[in-house]
Chain A
Amino acid sequence: MTELVIFSLLNGLVTGLLLFMLSSGLTLIFSMMGVLNFAHASFYMLGAYFAYTISSYIGFWPGLIVAPLLVGLAGALVERYGLRHVHRHGHVAELIFTFGLAFLIEEIVQFFWGRATKDYSEPELLHFPLFTLYGQNFPAYKAFMILISIGIFIGLFTVLSRSRIGLIIQAAITHPHTVSNLGHNVPLVFMGVFGVGSALAGLAGVIAGPALGTFPGMAFVLGSIVFVVIVVGGLGSLPGAFVASLLIGWLQTFAIALDWSVNDLLDILGVSFDADHVLRDLWTLSLPQVAPILPYILLILILIFRPTGLMGKRET
């Protein structure tokens, strides 16, 4: 049991931090522009594919730097020539646009890279078990993922709270018109933020690609979870996104690790039902089975009972 708990904590931390890399960019974008970017996970996928192609020519490490930059550039272009165009039609139109973009990017990825899973793997340097506990390996690459994510969190936090540009961004989040009146080029800041947010997603893709697989469906399996994270954490709140990322990471990992089922509960209550009862599927429901949908239950509950999210200040 101890090993299960330790490894679940570690695995949940890896998943949670990965979610944070995605949700931090999405939160930044939402705070500044009011846009919930449906295509955010698609930029994550682009990051993985770019890095795959780069790594097949010049290795993993250059890809770690170059791929996020390319994704950031792509994000900035999307903002400049796509989103800004749609902006005047309101936020619902923007949401529809990013939804269409997510659909389109998946098709484009299939056009260029095909449909099969790509053999994008971690560098040889990190291809060893960092430590073995109770006979179970913890890969060094996972530790590397944790390090990078924490580095990003610290970096982002420092930039936002210490630097001049961070101050402008913070100000633009709350008072965009005032910032504009002060002579700052708000559209340029928007483009920059969208680009940086996309680059963060791209970086997440670069490091997650080898661990979670690089295939055209990778954006889809992650896409809506990232939404859940930022809504649960509170829209526009970076600390909220951080807490919610870890929460959901651990929620999913522990739900898989713990074999609790409705049956156990019924046993405790001393109730039993026929095996062919109409609701038989409900009685046999187990926690690992429902693990992937727990975040959505959390989402709905949060939206109903605490629309500001865990740490958000404003309603969604």
Chain B
Amino acid sequence: MSVTRRAAVAATLGLALAMSAGAQAADSIKIAFIDPLSGPFATTGESGLRSFEFAADVLVNHKGGVLGGRMFEIVPLDNKISPKESLIQLKRAISDGIQYIVQGNSSGVANALTDAVEKHNKRNPDQRMLFLNYSAVDPALTNEKCNFWHFRFDANADIKMDALTDAIAEDQGIKKVYIIGQDYSFGKAVAAAAVDMLAEKRPDIEIVGNELHPIGKVKDFTPYATKIKSSGAQAVITGNWGADMVGLGKAIIEAGVDAPIYTYYGAHDGITATFGELGEGIIRSIREGTLNPPTPEFKALNDAFKAKYPDNDINQPRIFNTIAMLAMAIEKAGTTDPVKVAYALEGMEYDTIMGGKVWMRPSDHQAIQDVHISVHTNKDIVVDADNSGYGLKDEKTVTMAGKDSPTSCEMTRPDA
């Protein structure tokens, strides 16, 4: 925590003393981390921040930095998960001469940021910046809303759904599927993709329920569980996260529904611990980066991380990919100039620590990588979550998922 605060104080001091900030910028490369660090979503934000700081230290700074000794410095800026506050923090980053921002929590914030960054770069060609999105998965960001300055390091919701529906399609026992999600753009995108893809892959599967519930407002999920149970569903798909994920999962299992629950965000940040033995073999997560069984490099990385932050997990491997690929791109470009770095990132291939490759697809700036379906269990778990003994074990892997997936992105590229 104190690291957060120290850096935050440093950031603000640097702002007040523009001179010294200018001097600092010469030796370190600042990366603004714009995510919630106070309020209800702060736990997720802090967890991401720790991973970024750790990744910057281990992957860049301890190896002597980039461009002959320039270090990465993560500047945490609290956006309270509000688009408005994010834009204020973006201005703060601009004032500080920061050229790279990273953000991940909430597609709403990501939409606001990508729009603002594009406008800023258009209006201030001498002071451009890049937006590295490490977690917001709304497909629109690399389709109709794409732009040259935005790069996404997580697999988007459609790519994940493609892998997920593949898994369901393979299981001939599943004839009835229930889709439930939060009533907002992401929940709707998940539902629409699930319906389309299942209809294509397994027309015999009946969608016995397609439901949206208000986001963050449901006190008790039992009525939904009752409905799911009485529908006779043999699999449940949900894009829920946070308290809505825990509440829904618990209610479904307690109602006696004995069907796999396929989730996007059904693990880590307290969720795994809360499910415990209740969710054994039932909760499945669709994600990038193999946690179990881990590669030796990842095991070592995780041990070092746990030694420093015993209460946190490396639950977003893409954060490490983001930092590593940014460092490679800066080295390749030989400069921190955002335009040149962006061109260097396009088409870049990177062998990840967790195993598998990441390829930054040039056409839409969507990272293409392996996507895994993993199950919540306490068997064969080396890297557990929430120190609970339970963790995620890969069941199925789709190599370079969505490599040929279509995109509607038409970005305008600046002169290099």
Contacts and interface: CB of A to CB of B under 8 A. Distances in A.
A85 B214 CA distance: 39
A139 interface: yes
Contact of A15 (B42, B219, B224, B227): B219
Interface in A14-42: 14-15
B274 A119 contact: yes
B220 interface: yes
For the residues of A in contact with B, the DSSP-based class is helix
B243 A253 contact: no
Interface in B27-44: 39-40, 42-43
Contacts of B230: 3-4, 7, 134, 136
A194 interface: no
B246 interface: yes
B243 A117 contact: yes
A104 to B, nearest CB: 15
B378 interface: no
B42 A257 contact: no
Contacts of B226: 3-4, 7-8, 11, 136, 257
A11 B246 contact: no
B85 interface: no
Given A119-B273, A136-B255, A137-B254, A292 B217 contact: yes
Contacts of B218: 221, 292
Contact of A11 (B183, B220, B243): B220
B206 interface: no
Interface residues of B, number: 31
Contact of A115 (B43, B211, B224): B43
B220 A211 contact: yes
B219 A221 contact: yes
Contact of A139 (B211, B212, B254, B274): B254
Given A117-B274, A216-B40, A289 B214 contact: yes
Q: How large is the interface on A (under 10, 10 to 19, 20 to 34, 35 or more residues)?
A: 35 or more
B270 interface: yes
Contacts of A212: 219-220, 247
Nearest to B253: A137
Nearest to A288: B211
B310 interface: no
A185 interface: no
Given A216-B40, A221-B217, A288-B213, A129 B223 contact: no
Contacts of A257: 223, 226-227
B299 interface: no
A135 interface: yes
A221 B213 CA distance: 14
A217 B40 contact: yes
B269 interface: yes
Interface string A183-221: 000000000000000000000000000011101110001
B342 to A, nearest CB: 35
Contact of B223 (A11, A136, A215, A217): A11
Contacts of A288: 211-213
In the complex, the 9 A-B pairs of residues with the closest C-beta atoms, listed nearest first: A137-B256, A256-B223, A7-B226, A116-B270, A253-B223, A136-B229, A292-B217, A11-B222, A292-B214
Interface of A: 3-4, 7-8, 11-12, 14-15, 114-117, 119, 129, 132, 134-137, 139, 142, 211-213, 215-217, 221-222, 225, 252-253, 256-257, 288-289, 291-293
17 contacts: A3-B230, A4-B227, A11-B222, A12-B223, A14-B222, A15-B219, A114-B43, A116-B269, A136-B226, A136-B230, A136-B255, A136-B256, A211-B220, A217-B40, A221-B219, A288-B211, A288-B212
